[in-house]
Amino acid sequence: MKIAIATDHNGVNEKKEIIERLKDEFEILDMSPVNTDTDDYPDFAFAVCNAINNKEADLGVLMCGTGIGMSIAANKVKGILCGHCSDVREAHLTREHNHANIMAVSYTQDVEQIVEMIVEFAKTEPSKEERHNRRVQKILDYENGNYGR
């Protein structure tokens, strides 16, 4: 499985440590190899989104100060379902129930916890339950201009 990961100027060292811890289990694509104090998180969010949409990666992980800005930017990209996650349970559920293909986190969380969240996110399959599929389909329909209650 290929995972694209990126951070803005917040979390550069944490990202490197995460990549090091995950590289034996997953193929990791570093989508923010160079960071500066003045970089903008949407640029890195869009890089990961493009990697997903271009089938260069299976899943994505975004980090910034809170993870919120990254998740907002990512969710503007067609075909992306990004969930902001704060713990392993949320990482599991955003993938299982919401069929997310990207998770966003705060770099301020413990690196070990972030690694656990990524592993859980990656190993969780999207639910095949009708209620989850129906809800996700409504989101996709709206994204494609076909939403009508």
Annotated catalytic sites, by residue? 64, 97
Residue 104 burial by Cβ neighbours in a 10 Å radius (0-12, 13-18, 19+): buried
Return d(Cα 83, Cα 90) in angstroms, integer.
9
Return d(Cα 100, Cα 86) in angstroms, integer.
15
- Tell me the three state secondary structure of residue 45: helix
